[in-house]
């Protein structure tokens, strides 16, 4: 199993729109993707940054998802910072 860690920034003025976009567009789209296992989306306390941990069945699907993250979703009120794939060593 492989994990994709994605970091984005959010304009504070767009915070509500970003949350709505996450729930209505991003999460449903990602859940339907090949090899998807699970995902957790988090926001910094000041509301200006997000980090996501998305687990995939294999390295290839995680790499493909990382490339899509780098391209961004049309209409997303966020700015891409980074995407990195890690091999899962343990899970509890």
Residue 11's CATH number: 3.30.70.100
Q: How far is CA 55 from CA 3, 22, 29, 45, 88, in A?
A: 4, 17, 14, 24, 8
pLDDT at 12 over 90: no
Is 19 inside any structural domain? Answer: yes
Query: What local confidence, expressed as pLDDT, does residue 9 receive?
Result: 97
* Neighbour count for residue 72 (Cβ, 10 Å): 12
Query: What local confidence, expressed as pLDDT, does residue 56 receive?
Result: 99
Q: Range of 79's domain? A: 2-87
Euclidean distance between CA atoms 79 and 2, whole angstroms:
24
> How many separate domains does the chain show?
1
Q: What is the pTM of this model?
A: 0.92
Q: Which of 35, 36, 17 is nearest to 27 (CA)?
A: 36
pLDDT digits (tens, 9 = 90+) for 24-78: 999 999 999 999 999 999 999 999 999 999 999 999 999 999 999 999 988 899 9
Is 52 inside any structural domain? Answer: yes
Averaged pLDDT for residues 3-24: 95
Is 40 inside any structural domain? Answer: yes
Query: What local confidence, expressed as pLDDT, does residue 16 receive?
Result: 93
Is 42 inside any structural domain? Answer: yes
Is 92 inside any structural domain? Answer: no
């Amino acid at each position: 199993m492989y994990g994709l860690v994605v970091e984005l920034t959010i304009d504070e003025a767009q915070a509500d729109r970003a949350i709505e976009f996450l729930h209505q567009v991003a999460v449903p789209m990602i859940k339907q993707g090949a090899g998807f296992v699970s995902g957790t989306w988090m926001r910094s306390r000041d509301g200006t940054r997000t980090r996501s941990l998305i687990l995939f069945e294999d390295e290839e699907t995680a790499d493909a998802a990382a490339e899509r993250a780098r391209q961004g979703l049309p209409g997303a009120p966020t700015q891409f910072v980074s995407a990195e794939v890690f091999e899962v060593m343990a899970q509890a």
